[in-house]
Amino acid sequence: MPKPSKKNNTCKLEYAGKESEKDILSGKGAENLVTEGCFNVKNNAHGAQNLLIKGDNLPVLQTLIKMKNARHAALTNTDGTTGARLIYIDPPFSTMLKFRAKDNQHAYDDNKTGGVFIEFLRKRLILLRELLSPNGSIYVHLDWKKAHYVKAVMDEVFGEENFLNDIIWSYGGRGAKAIANQFSRNHDIILWYKKGLGHIFNKISGEKRFAKGSGGFRQDEDGRWFKTAPRGDYTDGSIKELEKAGRIYRTRNNTVRIKYFLREDENHIIEDKLIGDVWDDIPDAMHISRAEKTGYPTQKPEALLNRVISASSTQGDIVLDAFAGSGTTLVTAEKLGRRWIGIDSGSLAINTAKERLANLNGKGNEPVSFMFCRAKSK
């Protein structure tokens, strides 16, 4: 009996209104898309094509797929591959709330729930999959309410075997109210999937600081701080070489452990550590600098997008955000030397992103060159 394929083994959510992939990919609705001087732009003076598009992202994504298939310059990476190398989206969370800026300007209504919300996002995930380059990957940023439903959807759309990480962004800082009857909710969930043919991953290290005198650290006779770890699979020959370099620590019962020297400042021991799947060192937008704050609700910090973009793309790669919001993805991509495409249907979002991009000029950066486009249905 033939072994069932992984795709056929994937659990699927069933709900009213679920469309077939074939219908979604057929481009129904894209023929109604009207663009104003957007999708046929020529290379600008800097040789890059960054697009900021105002419109419903569903037909816009369908149009971008056509451009990718036609090998349009706006969807071609510097290495000649077509499609976005990295997609990050921070979609609505199904909160049933109306979001406004500090000055009471309307941002967006997060009013979809149940199967309607799931299908809204699933359609876009299918199109985003088609927009990825062969070795591209996608990060989907959600909260505790719908992340587990969307994990099942992404297993279906991308394949469970292409799931890379369930990243916990533990931003903290909000605490728990004294009258709360549950643990405080101080984290978001970011699902990371690859398209299938490999993916880019640049390892990232972060600093952890410990007060001098903290447990688990020692000083040698030269005053250098170090920590130790078991010898693992080091050979006797390697241990001898490490001993010559002063890298061996012997316990009271003569057990061999390996020394790892640490940096220090006046009051702290500093440990460089590879970043894992719990990110607890990036504060949320409530605690970013005044200069970075835009007043846009649900703004994400540049430090968060810096980590995502640095880890999963290289200079010159295309980064796409289909729910661009305040433009954090676009601004960070620009600072990191990536090309970018941003889409949002809200006037406040587009205006905020445009202003942030314009403000990068005059700060030691090259002028930001992009084409602003409107997309709307007839």
Task: Write out the residue range of the structural domain in which residue 144 sits.
Answer: 34-176+184-204+275-377
* Mode of pairing for the β-strands spanning 163-170 and 278-279: parallel
Domain count of the fold of the chain:
2
Kindly state whether residues 190 and 214 are assigned to the same domain. no
Average pLDDT over residues 206-226: 87
For the full predicted model, state whether its pTM sits above 0.75.
yes
Q: 223: Cβ–Cβ under 8 A, 6 or more apart, which residues?
A: none
Q: Which of 222, 238, 272 is the last residue of a domain?
A: 272
Answer yes or no: is 108 within a domain: yes
| Residue 356, both tokens | 């942030």
Kindly state whether residues 255 and 297 are assigned to the same domain. no
Kindly state whether residues 244 and 319 are assigned to the same domain. no
- For the chain, the farthest-separated pair of C-alpha atoms sits apart, in whole angstroms, at 80
Binning pLDDT at 50, 70 and 90, where does residue 309 land? very high
Q: Which of 228, 255, 272 is the last residue of a domain?
A: 272
Q: Which of 224, 247, 272 is the last residue of a domain?
A: 272
Kindly state whether residues 51 and 146 are assigned to the same domain. yes
43 has pLDDT over 60: no
Query: What are the Cα distances from residue 299, in Å, to 33, 91, 108, 142, 213?
Result: 28, 12, 13, 13, 39
Q: What pLDDT does residue 1 have?
A: 46
Q: What pLDDT does residue 214 have?
A: 79
Kindly state whether residues 302 and 343 are assigned to the same domain. yes
Kindly state whether residues 171 and 302 are assigned to the same domain. yes
Kindly state whether residues 157 and 43 are assigned to the same domain. yes
pLDDT > 90: percent of the chain? 65
List the beta strands (DSSP E) in the chain: 33-35, 50-54, 84-89, 97-100, 106-110, 132-142, 163-170, 187-194, 205-211, 218-219, 225-230, 248-250, 256-261, 263-264, 268-274, 278-279, 318-321, 339-344, 370-377
pLDDT tens, 46-56? 455 799 999 99
| Residue 55, both tokens | 């419109």
Sign of CA dihedral 67, 69, 70, 71: positive
Would you tell me how many other CB atoms lie within 10 Å of the CB of residue 116?
Answer: 14
Kindly state whether residues 141 and 290 are assigned to the same domain. yes
Residue of 148, 153, 124 whose CA lies nearest to 59? 124
Domain with residue 106: its CATH number is: 3.40.50.150
Residue type present at position 126: I
